[in-house]
Amino acid sequence: MELGKPNLEVFADTLLELGQQHRDLLVVTGDSRGSGKLVLFGQKLPEQIVEIGIAEQNLVGVSAGLASTGKKVFAVSPASFLTARSFEQIKNDVAYSDIPVKLIGISAGVSYGALGTTHHSLHDFAALRAVNNIHIVVPADNFETRKAIEASLDYPYPLYIRFGKKAVPHVHDPSTNFEIGKAIKLKTGSDVTFIATGETVFRAVEACNLLEGQGISCGVISMHTLKPLDEAAVLEAARDSRVIITVEEHSIHGGLGCACASFLLQEGLHNPFKIIGIPDEYNVNGSQDEILEYYGITPGGLAQSARDLIYVEVPE
């Protein structure tokens, strides 16, 4: 896979283009325009950027107010602060009040590496999945990021989009069809399917390549929309493959894995199943790559998890 740009940059480029076409598009920042790569946006479209300062709760509340008048509002802040600090504003002023603000969580997951737990967002899927009337999109690569931002512009529901900071490989062909709520199947396999989301998808694709070299038939799904979950795609994967493994840069609690597991169980399907994410412990310190490696969210680690599940001895 060829290395692309950081999804963050694609987001900023796309937003600038959209902002130039739609003068009712507003970006709201909280001392975050530098980290959001929005300095150029601010220079080119100074009337379309609203600076709130370091006040994430206020940022979301103000965004809701702006959007309630029909403005197309992108509220941009590090995923960690946006979803933890402003949680009640998201729940009440955006989701419950049904105002289609686009909440953009930047530098998500463990992107901030050694800045530590205060800056990591490993709670955001779980928190927002429990809020009615907000949808969650987690793009895997530059293609999905651009498509998600474009699709968000007139999207009728409150939306949370989150991505990381580092350059990611291209996983999709630009001719792929993208629709919020519709998973993208990258590969089909009968032994195992990885259902991955966001910037872990490319790792799952690489794991798949390793496994196929070992004669294991392997599928990959990019579950870019966490909510509403594409249940048909999950069901199909569970019927096509014996083993299901979910992958996310999030706590193992309450994210993609839990969404898939609870759905499959209620459908009466009991495939061997594993949720790969960040475990519930005092998390190790290090760079993003070091943290992900430590928790086995690497091609090698994912392939090992798959083998462990495929070759498990079934008791008599």
Partner 1 sequence: MEIQELERKSIQYRKAILSIIKKANAGHTGGDLSCVEILNVLYNHVMNVSPENFTDPNRDRYIQSKGHSVETLFTVLADKGFYPEEELDTLNQFQSHFIGHPTRKVNGVEHNTGALGHGLSVSVGIALAGKKNGLSYRVYTLLGDGELEEGSNWEASMSAAHYKLDNLVVIIDRNTLQITGRTEEVSQLEPLSDKFKAFGYAVRETDGNDLAALVQVFGQIPFEKGKPSLILAHTTKGKGISFIEDQVSWHHHTPTDQEFVVAMTELQQAEEAWQVQYGTR
Ligand X SMILES: Cc1ncc(C[n+]2csc(CCOP(=O)(O)OP(=O)(O)O)c2C)c(N)n1
Q: How far is the CB of 311 from partner 1 (least distance, A)?
A: 31
Q: Which residue of 1, 39, 40, 54 would you call a contact of ligand X, by CB under 6 A?
A: 54
126 contact, one of partner 1, ligand X, none, CB 5-8 Å limit per kind:
none
Residue showing the smallest CB distance to ligand X in the complex:
31
Cβ nearer to partner 1, comparing 35 with 133: 35
Name the segment binding partner 1 (CB under 8 A); options: 67-75, 108-116, 142-150, 260-268: 108-116
Residue 85 within binding range of ligand X, rule CB under 6 A? yes
- Structure tokens of 273? 């199943």
Q: Which residue of 3, 17, 34, 232 would you call a contact of partner 1, by CB under 8 A?
A: 34
Q: How far is the CB of 235 from partner 1 (least distance, A)?
A: 40
- Structure tokens of 49? 């950027």
Residues 44-103 that bind partner 1 (CB under 8 A): 51-55, 57-58, 80-81, 84-85
Where are the strands (E) in 54-153, listed by range? 72-78, 102-106, 135-137
Size of the site for partner 1 (CB under 8 A): 31
Element of type H or E holding 184? strand 184-187
Cβ nearer to partner 1, comparing 18 with 115: 115
Q: How far is the CB of 42 from partner 1 (least distance, A)?
A: 9
Listing DSSP states for 235-281 in one string gives HHHHHH-SEEEEEEEEESSSSHHHHHHHHHHHTT----EEEEEE-SS
Dist. CA 1–CA 109, nearest whole Å: 22
**Residue 42 near residue 72 (C-beta atoms within 8 A):** no
Dist. CA 292–CA 277, nearest whole Å: 9
302 contact, one of partner 1, ligand X, none, CB 5-8 Å limit per kind:
none
Q: Which residue of 1, 3, 40, 114 would you call a contact of partner 1, by CB under 8 A?
A: 114
**Residue 168 near residue 141 (C-beta atoms within 8 A):** yes
Task: Provide the edge-to-edge strand list for the sheet that holds 159-162.
Answer: 49-51, 25-29, 72-78, 102-106, 159-162, 135-137, 225-227
- Structure tokens of 121? 């967002």
- Structure tokens of 170? 């291209």
Dist. CA 83–CA 104, nearest whole Å: 10
Q: How far is the CB of 26 from partner 1 (least distance, A)?
A: 17
Residues 119-178 that bind partner 1 (CB under 8 A): 119
Q: How far is the CB of 278 from ligand X (least distance, A)?
A: 20
290 contact, one of ligand X, partner 1, none, CB 5-8 Å limit per kind:
partner 1
34 contact, one of ligand X, partner 1, none, CB 5-8 Å limit per kind:
partner 1
Would you tell me which residues interact with ligand X (CB under 6 A)? 31, 54, 56, 81, 85
